[in-house]
Amino acid sequence: MLKKIGSLLIIIGFLAAFMLLVAGPLYRWQLLDLGIAFTLLRWAAYVGVAAVVLIIIYLIWQRPRGGRLALLTVAAIAGTISFYLPYQQLQTARSVPPIHDISTDLQQPPEFAAIAPLRADAPNPLPYPGEETAEQQRSAYPDLGPIYFSQDLERVFQAALTVVNDMGWQLVASDLAEGRIEATASTFWFGFKDDVVIRLRSEDQQTRVDVRSKSRVGRSDVGKNAARIRDFQQQLQGIL
C-alpha cells in the first residue's frame, strides 16, 4: 500500500510537468483555445505544488532509498517547475501594464502596411490604441525611444535587415525607399505572433530608427514587446 502511494505521488509530479509542457504546443497547433490552454497551465501549477508538498511528507514519513528516492526527487523537481513557471509568468504580468502595443515613437507610431492583411482576424485591432496606452508605456518603460546613427539610411537599413534575420523573425516586407521593414516574431512556447514594424528616417544628418511591436492576441504582452524592441536596438547598435 505504501509503495502504491509513493508511485501515485511520482505519477502526480510527472503529470504536472506533462500538463505544463503540452499547454503551449496544443494551443500553437490549434487543438486548444487560449482560455483552455491557460486553464491547463493553472492546473499544472496546482497539481505541481500539491505533488511537492505530498512528496516531502512522504519522504519524511517513509524515508525511501535507492531508485524510489531518485524517482520521488525527480517528481518533486518536476512539480516545482510546474508551479514556478506559471507563477513567475503571473508575477511578471502583474509587474507590467496590461498593454500589448509598444512603440519608440508615441506621437507618430510607425504604421503597419504589408502586415495589415495578416492581422485581419487578430483579436487586437491594428490601429495604435491611443494616449492611455502611451501614458502606461511612459510610466513602465521610460527608457524606450528612437535610436540614432551617424551612418547613412541605406547602411542602417541593411544592418536592420541583418538583425531581423539574426533574431529569427519572419520578414514580411522591406522597402528602402519608404524606410520601412515589417516582420513577425513568434514566441517559443505558445507560438504567439507579434508583429514588428521598423521605420528609418533621415533627421539632422543622422538616421533615426523607430520600432513598434504589437501582439495579435492578449490584453497584456507580459513585457515581451518592450523586451523585443530593446533586444533589437542593442543588436543593431552592436553591428553599426
Question: 112 or 65: which carries more pLDDT confidence?
Answer: 112
User: pLDDT band for position 65 (50/70/90)?
Assistant: confident
User: pLDDT band for position 49 (50/70/90)?
Assistant: very high
Bridge partner residues of 193 (DSSP) = 186
- 34 neighbors 217 (Cβ within 8 angstroms): yes
- pLDDT (0 to 100) of residue 181: 98
Nearest CA among 219, 195, 167 for reference residue 109: 195
User: pLDDT band for position 143 (50/70/90)?
Assistant: very high
Residue 72: is its pLDDT beyond 80? yes
- 228 neighbors 194 (Cβ within 8 angstroms): yes
Task: Give the span between the Cα atoms of 219 and 33, in whole angstroms.
Answer: 16
What average pLDDT does the structure give for the chain? 95
Over residues 58-74, the mean pLDDT reads 91
Residue-wise pLDDT for 3-46, tens only, equals 788 899 999 999 999 999 999 999 999 999 999 999 999 999 99
Secondary structure in 3-state letters for the chain: CHHHHHHHHHHHHHHHHHHHHHHHHHHHCCCCCHHHHHHHHHHHHHHHHHHHHHHHHHHHHHCCCHHHHHHHHHHHHHHHHHHHHHHHHHHHHHHCCCCCEEECCCCCCCCCCCCHHHHCCCCCCCCCCCHHHHHHHHHHCCCCCCEEECCCHHHHHHHHHHHHHHCCCEEEEEECCCCEEEEEEECCCCCCEEEEEEEEEEECCEEEEEEEEEECCCCCCCCHHHHHHHHHHHHHHHHC
How much is the pTM? 0.90
Bridge partner residues of 206 (DSSP) = 203
Q: How many residues are present in the chain?
A: 240
Residue-wise pLDDT for 170-206, tens only, equals 999 999 999 999 999 999 889 999 999 999 999 999 9
User: pLDDT band for position 67 (50/70/90)?
Assistant: confident
Over residues 44-64, the mean pLDDT reads 94
Residue 2: is its pLDDT beyond 80? no
Supply 193's cell numbers. 505572433
Least confident stretch, 90-94, 150-154, 171-175? 90-94
Nearest CA among 56, 99, 90, 103 for reference residue 75: 56
Q: Does domain 101-239 have CATH number 3.30.530.50?
A: yes
Task: Give the span between the Cα atoms of 44 and 24, in whole angstroms.
Answer: 12
Task: Give the span between the Cα atoms of 32 and 19, in whole angstroms.
Answer: 13
